[in-house]
Amino acid sequence: MNGLELLPVGRRVAYWRGRRQLSQQVFADRLGKSKSWVDKVERGVRSLDRVSTLHDIAAVLRIDAAVLLGRDTQPADVTGRVEGVEQVREALSTYDVAVGHSVTDRAVVSADQLARDAAHTWVSFQYARYARVTAMVPELLAGAQRAHADDPEQARATLVEAYRVTASLLTKLGEAELAWLAADRAMLTATGDPILVAATTVQLGQALRAYGRTQAAVSTARAAAYRIAPADPDDAQPPELSLYGTLLVQAALAAARHGDDRTAADLIDEAAAMAARVGDGQDHHRTGFGPAAVDLARVAAALDLGNAHEAVVWHRRATKRVGWRWLPAEHRAAHLLDAARAYLYTDDPTNAARVLAEADRTAPAEVRHRPAARSIVAQVARHPHAPATIIQLAVVLGVT
């Protein structure tokens, strides 16, 4: 192993950027990131644990991604993929209804039953039962598409919900491009109804952010939020405020991923004001929006901005809230993975392992099937003082 391979990945990025005679600003522009983001990566303040981002950097630097990764920072391979994703892909690729092809072997499902099926799929998703949701989605999509073809107005909301839950699932499973497709379908179906469009933009923003289109995610989420912004928040109803606040959160998270700390802070503060009016324990439009959810967003934003110590402070505050336990299991487990990253970046492997184990107890599928989660497990397990429970989990996942 040569000296370059011994350097942290951020230092390798800086080395190759220098070799290519690129300033931090030019390099940032080519990546679609901010100069501050590049600086934090190169100084090791911000971790590079997304495979897609590493490949984007390698492409700009005109080197193989393996040169950046090295043996010590190789992200975990995704061997725990949920079975059935190809069936979801096939369901999204079917145009039988649009071209008038009749599928006679499928039973006709009533609009009421489809609405109940969509609601049940959402509940299963919120409990992080991803394998079950993956199995449910193709039939839900097919039924909702047929119902929409028969009665577009009555079945419109159900088809939008079917696409929304599909997009949420695919984003979780690391299928960003496919999630974008599902969210795009939902957006086309929702067009003309500001509330349906706003609800759909939540998933569209998540998919765009996962796909690396952070600027598009910021502008789209902000536009959708301000389109439905109440004239007087004191007179607005909780469902309206929840959707508005959630869109602000999505825009803030995308701004943080882009390295724009000021915009992220302003948007989250605005969302917090809406959350105070809504309160915890709500789930309007499947958002789970409230003060606890906003605090969790502050953790994720701080991490993406390279402020791990701040992320730990917000994590401790958020999990002391009564509303923390009212959030869906999927949301809590996803946050605990963020907390594990924060503790890792602050050189606290003991607490990283603790919250990682808690995430696995809260929603095992969140840890065992999400590519980002598996990478965190691998990082914690490699630490010299990693507890046996985490090492065993890493062995089970095949990421040692």
Tell me, what's the pLDDT at 81? 56
Enter the pTM of the model: 0.79
pLDDT digits (tens, 9 = 90+) for 358-399: 999 999 999 988 888 888 888 888 877 788 888 888 888 887
223: its two tokens: 């536009």
Tell me, what's the pLDDT at 288? 94
pLDDT digits (tens, 9 = 90+) for 175-226: 999 999 999 999 999 999 999 999 999 999 999 999 889 999 999 999 999 9
Q: How far apart are the first and last CA of the chain?
A: 20
Tell me, what's the pLDDT at 99? 63
Residue with tokens 């809230």: 321
pLDDT digits (tens, 9 = 90+) for 258-274: 989 999 999 999 999 99
Cα dist from 74 to 5, 66, 68, 368, whole Å:
12, 8, 9, 18
Separation of alpha carbons 395 and 130, rounded Å: 21
Percent of the chain predicted with pLDDT > 70: 89
For 78-93, give one letter per residue: b (16+ CB within 10 A) or e. bebebebbeebbebbe
379: its two tokens: 């990082």
Locate the domains of the chain by residue range. Answer: 3-69
Percent of the chain predicted with pLDDT > 90: 60
* Res. 111: pLDDT tops 60: yes
Tell me, what's the pLDDT at 61? 85
Tell me, what's the pLDDT at 72? 39
Tell me, what's the pLDDT at 276? 96
Reference 82, options 388, 383, 369, 395; nearest CA is 369
Band of residue 230 on the pLDDT scale cut at 50, 70, 90: very high
The residue type of 289 is F
Reference 275, options 332, 310, 267; nearest CA is 267
Tell me, what's the pLDDT at 202? 98
Tell me, what's the pLDDT at 155? 92
Question: Considering the domain 3-69, what is its CATH architecture?
Answer: Orthogonal Bundle (1.10)
In this predicted model, which residue has the larger pLDDT, 76 or 331? 331
| Of 18-22, 24-28, 85-89, 288-292, minimum mean pLDDT range | 18-22
Residue with tokens 């040692």: 400
Separation of alpha carbons 74 and 46, rounded Å: 16
List of residues 6+ apart from 19 with CB closer than 8 A: 61
List of residues 6+ apart from 311 with CB closer than 8 A: 298, 299, 300, 302, 303, 338, 339, 341, 342, 345
Tell me, what's the pLDDT at 77? 38
pLDDT digits (tens, 9 = 90+) for 234-260: 899 999 999 999 999 999 999 999 989
* Res. 277: pLDDT tops 90: yes
The residue type of 190 is A
122: its two tokens: 């959402």
Average confidence (pLDDT) over 328-354? 93
Tell me, what's the pLDDT at 69? 61
Contact between 144 and 118 (Cβ < 8 Å): yes
Tell me the torsion sign for CA atoms 141, 147, 153, 158: negative
Reference 183, options 199, 163, 197, 198; nearest CA is 163
Separation of alpha carbons 370 and 400, rounded Å: 16
pLDDT digits (tens, 9 = 90+) for 126-175: 999 999 999 999 999 999 999 998 888 999 999 999 999 999 999 999 89
275: its two tokens: 């959350």
